[in-house]
Structure 1
Amino acid sequence: MSETTGESGGEALLELSGLKKHFPLTGGLIFKRQVGQVHAVDGIDLTVHAGETLGLVGESGCGKSTTGRLAARLLEPTAGNIRYAGQEIGHASRRGLKPIRAEIQMIFQDPYSSLNPRHTVGSIVGGPMEINGINPAGGVKNRVQELLEIVGLNPEHYNRFPHEFSGGQRQRIGVARALSLNPKLIIADEPVSALDVSIQAQVVNLLQQLQRDMGIAFLFIAHDLAVVRHFSQRVAVMYLGKIVEIADRDSLYTRPRHPYTHALLSAVPEVTEDDEPRERIRLAGDVPSPINPPSGCRFRTRCWKAQDKCATEEPPLVRLEGNKEGHLTACHFPEQPSVHGRDVVLDPALRS
């Protein structure tokens, strides 16, 4: 089932269908040859609708950042389709991508390495306009200073260099750069993970305000489930190159159906009024290698509900009985649709 069946108030802006990215592994001291592949993204369907935020979560190494770079066409897909505003761009040429480059922008994870230390703020934020031949009313400098003010920086910082700013301020510069071409879609790759908690809140609130004011859609990639819940309308859960569950925020956080989602949510710190400890799920073993992922369900090697069927049949991403149309899960033996954290039945070996 395609993920495009999910509910949303806007039209489909970005559609990923059967998307794959395999990185070749080479070996040999003299004659290099391919000896394997890293299955970073291995056949996913995702849709981001106009004006919404889709959160993409999962453990480190599951393929989230690769998905974001594929969506922005910073990487060439191995297979599958990428459609933007109805136009296929998955294998478009550099010339074919030029008209839509301005509409898809990225905010990168590291605010320290994503800004050129030799360029001033004015050059960093104004560069995209000059490259694309855009001459805004009042000139590039005036527009850059407007953007700096929009993201909460002093317009007089136009001539300063990145090393003169804190991490949170640098990330705001990155946001201003992404806004310089008036994009319709921003792919935010772990935009607050390198920041202090107080600064994280400021940046996330800034992105929310920009979305309300400018109608920008976001693919928000993160591993912090609390931040994702605060900012996203829908959430997709990724494990080892596959989407295992996708739903609207409230449905996923209160009634997760996939065991992996259940385990992730059980690890989120939560303060309860009765101070009773919440059931924690401790996953057994390590994440399998994406070079040789498990057969069938990729989560089965760590799942307390795995059976023989899980090793031979890959579960499709489908709507389960009792779920809303937009709640899709890929599991042969899903969790019961009750309130999260109150009815978990675990093998004793998995209890913390």
Structure 2
Amino acid sequence: MSEQTFEPGSQAAPAAVAPRSSSPLLTVEGLAKHFPVKQGAFGTKALVRAVDGVDFSVDRGETLGLVGESGCGKTTTGRMVVKLLESTAGKIVFEDRDITRYNRSQMRSLRHDLQIIFQDPYSSLNPRHTVGKIVAMPLQVNGINPPGGVKKRVQELLETVGLNPEHYNRYPHEFSGGQRQRIGIARALALRPKLIVADEPVSALDVSIQAQVINLLRDLQREFDLAFVFIAHDLAVVRHFCQRIGVMYLGKMVEIGDRHQIYEEPAHPYTRALLSAVPDVTKIGEKGRERIRLEGDVPTPLNPPSGCRFRTRCWKAQPKCAEVEPPLLQIGTGQQVACHFPETGPLA
């Protein structure tokens, strides 16, 4: 495979999309998370439907990107996958095991295979612990004594993510933001997981550092055959790093497809609107695509619209959209869309 690197503003696809395997590593069905809240002067009980019935799967060694506006439920979905949040409804199947209701002790054996990289490299590391202690923590908690000892394994991990192994005894405040995120990546790799949820791992970093971290994740994916659920706002990064993309809106999955389908021939009106807002730096001075401007604000998850949740901002909405919620149906090879009147053809 030819070596390619990500550069800021680049939209080139790094590799061909691999065929889907028969048995996914992770399968999510009808996943939901409702947060009870009180509203109004009398404390009326209500539910925030942060995630409200999400379906997707991830193959071994594959990267699924989750994109959408802030508040659409991407991070909540990722945290439920690694069991940092308990789901309200739905099913999570990992390696043909239903882990939906696993308790903490049952999850301990799965921590070898399921890990997470957090968004903020500043708050996700304990400032009172050395880098060595932070990276060694998963090994010690799980009672693992690797060949050569814990210190040797930690130093190997630091070197793997591009840090100096001699900095084992330094503290997080002595590192830059990009270096701290590499420490978080080393911690996630300590147990040799099969799937990592990366919750906007580069959004808090400088653009040039983002490119380095993304290229590091790609190299690690190839070396260790890692699968990723990659949560991000930056659509250029998602296009480069992810083989498949899921688009979320107000707690629902509205479209799933491979990289070409989502970026070149999106079927859901919301996906088209989302992509139309991305500036194309390769066409400066030329007439680019016309931006689709959505009217109105995103509805509240406390009281989502009936039927299709996007209908209040959709230019194609018809009476049926308010009456019947569109199911996520397959419209092409691997492409699924939840829309009664999907778009066709390439993105204009």
Q: Settle same-fold status: TM greater than 0.5.
A: yes
**Letter in structure 2 aligned against 1:250:** H
Structure 1 equivalent of residue 339 of structure 2: 331
Post-superposition shift, 1:11?
3.2
Structure 1 equivalent of residue 307 of structure 2: 296
Q: Tell me which of 8, 15, 24 is aligned to 1:12.
A: 24
| Distance in 2 (alpha carbons) for counterparts of 1:253 and 1:307 | 26
Alignment of 1:244-323 (within 5 A): 244-270=254-280, 271-272=282-283, 275-320=286-331, 323=332
Structure 1 runs of 4+ with >4 Å offset: none
CA contact (8 A) 1:187 1:219 kept: yes
Post-superposition shift, 1:339?
1.8
**Letter in structure 1 aligned against 2:159:** E
| Distance in 2 (alpha carbons) for counterparts of 1:47 and 1:117 | 36
| Distance in 2 (alpha carbons) for counterparts of 1:328 and 1:316 | 9
Post-superposition shift, 1:128?
0.6
Residue-by-residue CA offset, 1:200-239 (whole Å, 9 max, x unaligned): 0000100000000100100000111100000000000000
CA contact (8 A) 2:111 2:191 kept: no
| Distance in 2 (alpha carbons) for counterparts of 1:237 and 1:60 | 12
CA contact (8 A) 1:22 1:78 kept: yes
Post-superposition shift, 1:7?
5.5
| Distance in 2 (alpha carbons) for counterparts of 1:182 and 1:129 | 10
Query: Residue 37 of structure 1 aligns to a residue in which SS?
Result: strand
Alignment of 1:151-190 (within 5 A): 151-190=161-200
| Distance in 2 (alpha carbons) for counterparts of 1:329 and 1:277 | 26
Alignment of 1:46-85 (within 5 A): 46-85=56-95
Structure 1 equivalent of residue 122 of structure 2: 112
| Distance in 2 (alpha carbons) for counterparts of 1:190 and 1:147 | 22
Query: Residue 327 of structure 2 aligns to a residue in which SS?
Result: coil
Q: Tell me which of 191, 212, 217 is aligned to 1:207.
A: 217
Residue-by-residue CA offset, 1:85-105 (whole Å, 9 max, x unaligned): 011111112222121122100
- Give the direction of change, closer, same or farther, for the CA distance of 1:11–1:274 in structure 2 (3 Å limit): farther
Structure 1 equivalent of residue 6 of structure 2: none
The RMSD of aligned alpha carbons is 1.6
- Give the direction of change, closer, same or farther, for the CA distance of 1:173–1:10 in structure 2 (3 Å limit): farther
| Distance in 2 (alpha carbons) for counterparts of 1:276 and 1:19 | 42
| Distance in 2 (alpha carbons) for counterparts of 1:130 and 1:56 | 32
Q: Is 2:38 aligned against 1:26? A: yes
CA contact (8 A) 1:186 1:219 kept: yes
- Give the direction of change, closer, same or farther, for the CA distance of 1:194–1:7 in structure 2 (3 Å limit): same
| Distance in 2 (alpha carbons) for counterparts of 1:102 and 1:92 | 15
**Letter in structure 2 aligned against 1:81:** K
Q: Tell me which of 106, 113, 119 is aligned to 1:103.
A: 113
CA contact (8 A) 1:24 1:34 kept: no
| Distance in 2 (alpha carbons) for counterparts of 1:65 and 1:285 | 24
Query: Residue 316 of structure 1 aligns to a residue in which SS?
Result: coil
CA contact (8 A) 1:148 1:176 kept: yes
| Distance in 2 (alpha carbons) for counterparts of 1:109 and 1:12 | 26
| Distance in 2 (alpha carbons) for counterparts of 1:155 and 1:102 | 23
Structure 2 equivalent of residue 349 of structure 1: none
Post-superposition shift, 1:276?
1.3
| Distance in 1 (alpha carbons) for counterparts of 2:136 and 2:317 | 53
| Distance in 1 (alpha carbons) for counterparts of 2:22 and 2:153 | 29
Residue-by-residue CA offset, 1:49-90 (whole Å, 9 max, x unaligned): 111000000010000000000000011110111111011111
| Distance in 2 (alpha carbons) for counterparts of 1:36 and 1:137 | 53
Structure 2 runs not aligned, ≥5 long: 1-17
Q: TM-score, normalised by structure 1?
A: 0.91
Query: Residue 55 of structure 1 aligns to a residue in which SS?
Result: strand
Post-superposition shift, 1:278?
2.0
